[in-house]
Structure 1
């Protein structure tokens, strides 16, 4: 219970520290400076808008001006146009009719003394048949002139008049433009080749005929104004837009814009702070959940949690530094080697933790690279960071040496280039070929910087924090390691035994999903303590007398029991990682040295069993528990003179059952299902090693 409380306290303090660090590192990206300035003073610096906001007052003014500029809509009345043209035609048709009547009258009358019809009589006759509106609108002089005019000239005048009236009515005649329309018709008549007398008469008729034919349409006018108002784009103040430059006067308009974007209001900064605090609280919750998982999986290992804190500080600080030199036109965030963090986390902790933190780092990156525009996130940066980190996690596999990290960098380069090209082609902007190559180069640089930084930082975490990585394990597994050379030269039998245990342990661990590489390396070093007194262990007793035959069982037990702890001391002196030291200490648990115990009991019935048991501790990890089993299995099978499949299976089953009944596996996370799978795997491996061989016949001597 006390350990549980300590773990929770460690997780809480670590989460609080990380959350506060995230908050203060992103504070500047959402906080806007406010100004205490007066109207009509000069600006002491260039001030930009921190947000996108509509200038509603300016939008209303623009809308009002646009609506006012819309002209009234009028409908040209075809009825009025046709009516006025009909009046003009009626005048000429009436005159033609009177002339026809006069001809008929002359033909029917044979009276030579008959007087011709006077002009006045023709005008009177004409007024009788013309419409009242015509007779009221035209004077008798105009009618008399038309009557006296030769027919050909009158017909020509008619064509000119009708054409002028059509042209005038076609464009529409409003009430206020009747005079200008009449003048227009008169100009058209005047430009004709008719005599002045004719044009003067036609001008009088045009003055009578031209009236208003364009009528105001209130509905169309209203619709036109609504359409104009809706077409007005809102006047926006864009984030990053310069409101006033250094040295310029703060006019009323500038002052109102500063007020609108909140640069004169200290209280406005409260909302972004609340929003950031909520977001960081959410991210910190995910961090706390993951730290708790790490604490449980690695038995409260503080080094893992400290490494998460240090890696988070490194990568987030790196983003913050690059953001200082990044502008909207200079997108340096493409060069940030953010994948360094997840490469280290996957190597030092677990792939799951790397995935979780990659999402958190990407979200923080979208805030840090928002160009100090509160309320905005750089989604492009966030997507780029996320895909780059996920690529790093995926491509870092089959780690055999540090070159695996550089290979992962090559994979990251490809993903980064494809991501950047997708951004380019998704935009509507035109890019030159040079820009495409520059952007692609950014992605390559970011990937290989991540790989190089990972290689450079990995030894720091391995040495200073003592965290074990796969690369470190591979280095420790090299036969050139000083301790392994010592084991080979001073205790060759133990060295061979350790190699066999390593093979069995690695295979069994991989079968149940444990760390096979850790088990292999741990098995290499688990019996290092036997080099202190190698000849007291049977595998090293080649052609010599067993020294245990000349000492008491208690002394023999003390020598045998001390070898795990002698080995642990030796490993600590050589700064071998704690995980390997723990395996060396735990690989015998608290098992009983049965041979020497029963031998001593033959002499001393009062002997205590505790004196012949290893002090422990019992195996606490899957790897240590499996090495504990494989160590005994290998020694037991090696002692068989004629190993068969049945004998091997019996030994493996009995040893596993003995370890379970003796409580040696109580502290390990192995399940019954794991033990069944371990049993089958060890048996299959041993059968492959001790398979039956063909007995070749010996050649008889002659």
Structure 2
């Protein structure tokens, strides 16, 4: 098992391996990303003692709840809750009923005739004495009243005049209700009795009546408020739940420079991990996992580019260098960014994706835009571990997407500035989005300042892209649309050379360029690359221009005096002479490859059969181009169009039927000869190419009106 693993590792990391060329730069980028963002997640650990003075201002690196302090506050809140009591309406009503009973019983005594036991004469009524009345009351009143109300009090009540008794009753009941309605507990019983007595004393009743009623209050006012367990428990729960957790927030100042480190401050520092070096490793592990994910996505995308044969040294270096430039720009600006300003708005982050879209591919630009935005959320987190600046990440993502979207139809570098205008608009809209979503109030000046930052970032991105693009095009040999448009200029030295030294070949190249561009666009290939490649594909003919028939104007054909083999060597050499010339003039590799591949390994039939007429044992390989065969769609299409244009141009009267026949024969010949075996073209695409070439040629060689000639007089 170990041997197999070692073999796999050796295979991946061998210098010629595709994965070696991918993993080495990806690992380098991962290390760079990790080192740049390390201080954004790593917090300094302090070796500090209690009651010393702080040498610097220390902030919390994380947001965390101080559970111990929260529990203390909760405990205090619960303890501050007073006991809850319930007032018993039944007790109050019971005391009122007792008072009613006493006054009703006294009234009844007044209405009845009573005979004293001392009466000597039969049937002669003798009024009851007060003592007898009290005894009578004790017999008819409830046991609770008779046991608690003394005879003296009852006697005083009996002596209240009849005219004042009803008023005294109402006054007494009113005073009792007033004293008991708020609840009477053991600790405030005497206070309630005193309140009732005061009400009676301040009334306009006579003194004897007041005294009688005052004595009765001792019986009437009792406890009617009792401890309620359920209410008290609910109140304590409510108090506990209303306590806000004590949270130390990320970025919050724990201790200022020069301040004494109290025990409370020391414990808070321990809580947030400023004294625990082991705890500080977790954010670093998290950052490592994030960088691993980002690096994996980049490696996957580079592998996809390799599968479609668009990954070369220039592409790898571009991704590596552009990523470093973008992250360095972010990091530099982040050094001057605080919680009070929004300097991340001025970062020209779209520079990277604008370059990548032009140099590599739009899909790659979109993927890297998302990754740069993720890294931006960490870089601009104000060095607070555990926090992400989501606002910065959103702004970077939308800004980059805007750049990718608006950069279309690149005909010159002015198109990049036009894309900058679109980015400025999207950036400003994103800033307004943040402002409107915020609860904070912003002044008009803040809106203009932040929008100005956003617009500046857009135009800085455009300007940096224009400035950096030539370095990538020239230094890495990467082909962009702008570079292709520059190469297509007739003023290029090689095209001038072709026009002046081989005008027939120049005209042929222009025709091939038109056919190739149209066919490429029909199957989704790079039409601009095909056009420019066609311009230069026969530049090698300028070495011996007169040996090619399209340039033989009013001169004898030099091949008439040469042996077929010599003629074949001259003709066969022109793709490789052209490739050498293009290489000397530092033209992109794609153009050089088209020049070398546009004949593939085809057979030079004319001279082969001419030699075979005299030498039946001639070898076919002497008259075949050495290759390589076309490797790309653009190269294969130019290979077809080159032969088609020459064949159609040789027709005296090109009709639609003849054009169809020639194009079909050439496409079939290239397929049967295996010239298209190494290209990614499908049979469906070949049919589209066939139809597109025919339609284009029919438009070029359309029939014209024959104008009548004037007869000679």
Quickly name the TM-score band, shorter chain normalised: over 0.9
Alignment of 1:570-581 (within 5 A): 570-581=581-592
Indicate which of 233, 250, 267 corresponds to 1:239. 250
8 Å CA contact 1:565–1:585 kept in 2: the answer is yes
Return the offset for 1:362: 1.7
1:275 is paired with a residue whose SS is helix
Q: 1:293 aligns with which of 291, 304, 328?
A: 304
Separation in structure 2 between the aligned mates of residue 650 and residue 523 of structure 1, nearest angstrom: 23
**1:533 counterpart SS class:** helix
Shift in CA distance, 253/102, structure 1 to aligned 2, threshold 3 Å: farther
Counterpart of 1:329 in structure 2 is: 340
Answer yes or no: is 1:179 the counterpart of 2:151: no
Q: Distance in 2 between matches of 1:532 and 1:186?
A: 134
What is the aligned counterpart of 2:199 among 177, 181, 188?
188
In 2, distance between residues paired with 1:301 and 1:86? 106
Q: How do 1:55-66 and structure 2 match up within 5 A?
A: 55-66=66-77
Bigger shift: residues 174-183 or 3-12:
3-12
Aligned length: 698
Alignment of 1:307-386 (within 5 A): 307-386=318-397
Q: Does 1:428 align with 2:434?
A: no
TM-score, normalized by length of structure 1? 0.93
CA distance in 1, matches of 2:587, 2:193: 111
Residues 294 and 304, structure 1, Cα contact 8 Å, conserved in 2: no
What corresponds to 2:241 in structure 1?
A: 230
Contact 1:138-1:204 at 8 Å conserved across structures: no
Does the 8 Å CA contact 2:15/2:21 hold for their aligned counterparts?
no
Q: From 514, 517, 521, give the equivalent of 1:510.
A: 521
Task: Judge conservation of contact 2:153–2:212 (CA < 8 Å) in 1.
Answer: yes
Give 1:299 shift.
Answer: 5.9
- 1:305 aligned residue: 316
Q: Which digits, 9 at most, give the CA deviation of each residue in 1:618-644, with x for residues without a partner?
A: 222211121111111111111111111
Where 1:496 maps in the other structure, the secondary structure is helix
Structure 1 residues 115 and 103, CA gap change in structure 2 (3 angstroms): closer
Alpha-carbon RMSD = 2.6
Which residue among 234, 249, 263 is the counterpart of 1:252? 263
Q: 2:322 and 2:433 mapped to 1: Cα distance?
A: 30
Looking at structure 1, the residues matched to 513 and 292 of structure 2 have their Cα atoms a distance apart, in angstroms, of 46
Matched, 1:538 2:549: yes
Aligned match of 1:521 in 518, 521, 532?
Answer: 532
Task: Look up the match of 2:137.
Answer: 126
* Aligned: 1:690 with 2:697: no
Alignment of 1:553-564 (within 5 A): 553-564=564-575
Give the corresponding residue for 2:5. Answer: none
Structure 1 residue 34: Cα displacement: 1.0
Mapped contact 2:114–2:128 kept (Cα < 8 A): no
Q: Distance in 1 between matches of 2:538 and 2:678?
A: 21
Question: How many angstroms apart in 2 are the aligned matches of 1:259 and 1:428?
Answer: 33
User: Matched residues in 1 for 2:310 and 2:472: separation?
Assistant: 19
Residues of 1 paired with 2:103 and 2:310: CA distance? 117
Any unmatched runs of 5+ in structure 1? none
Cα 1:693–1:265 change in 2 (3 A) is same
Distance in 2, matches of 1:263 and 1:253, equals: 14
- Contact preservation (8 Å) 1:369, 1:381: yes
Is structure 2 residue 281 aligned with structure 1 residue 276? no
Structure 1 residues 89 and 104, CA, compared in 2 at 3 Å: closer, same or farther?
farther
Q: Which residue of 49, 52, 60 corresponds with 1:41?
A: 52
Q: CA deviation at 1:602?
A: 4.5
Choose 548-557 or 59-68, whichever is displaced more.
548-557
Quote the Cα distance in structure 2 between the aligned partners of 1:204 and 1:510. 116
CA distance in 1, matches of 2:128, 2:676: 146
Q: Is the 8 A contact 1:348 1:468 kept in 2?
A: yes
**TM superposition shift of 1:112:** 13
- 2:472 aligned with 1:461, yes or no? yes
Query: How much does 1:103 deviate?
Result: 11
Deviations 1:424-479 (A, max 9, x none): 33343344444444443333232222222211211111111111101111111122
Residue in structure 1 matching 2:667, options 629, 650, 656 = 656
Cα distance in 1, alignment partners of residues 211 and 234 from structure 2: 44
Task: Give, in whole Å, the separation in 1 of the partners of 2:413 and 2:51.
Answer: 65
Stretch deviating more after TM superposition (326-335 or 126-135):
126-135
Q: Is the 8 A contact 1:43 1:246 kept in 2?
A: yes
- 2:690 matched to which residue of 1? 679
Q: Tell me the CA shift for residue 538 of structure 1.
A: 1.9
Contact 1:7–1:300 (Cα < 8 Å) also in 2: no
- Tell me whether 1:412 sits opposite 2:418 in the alignment: no
Cα deviation for residue 604 of structure 1 reads 5.3
Cα separation, 2, equivalents of 1:386 and 1:411: 14
8 Å CA contact retained: 1:295, 1:305: no
CA offsets, 1:302-336, max 9 Å, x none? 11011000011111121122222222332222322
Tell me, yes or no, if structure 1 residue 84 matches structure 2 residue 98. Answer: no
* Contact 2:604-2:623 at 8 Å conserved across structures: yes
Shifted more, 190-199 versus 398-407: the winner is 190-199
- C-alpha spacing 1:617/1:28, structure 2 compared with 1 (3 Å): same
3-state SS of paired residue (2:411): coil
Q: Does 1:215 align with 2:221?
A: no
Secondary structure of the equivalent of 2:278? Answer: helix
- Could you state the TM-score of these two structures normalised by the residue count of structure 2? 0.92
Mapped to 2, the partners of 1:225 and 1:492 lie a distance apart of: 101
2:36 to 25, 37, 59: 25
SS at match of 1:267: coil
User: Following TM superposition, by how much is the alpha carbon of 1:513 offset from its aligned partner in structure 2, in angstroms?
Assistant: 1.4
Alpha-carbon distance in structure 2 between the residues aligned to 1:427 and 1:548: 82
Query: Of 585, 591, 599, which aligns to 2:596?
Result: 585
Shift of 1:244: 1.5
Partners of 1:299 and 1:159 in 2: CA distance? 107
**Cα distance, 1:500 vs structure 2:** 0.5
Q: Distance in 2 between matches of 1:209 and 1:300?
A: 103
| Structure 1, 550-559 or 524-533: larger mean CA deviation | 550-559
Within the candidate set 136, 147, 152, 1:141 is matched to 152
Give the secondary-structure state (helix, strand or coil) at the position aligned to 2:86.
strand
State the 1:278 CA deviation.
Answer: 1.7
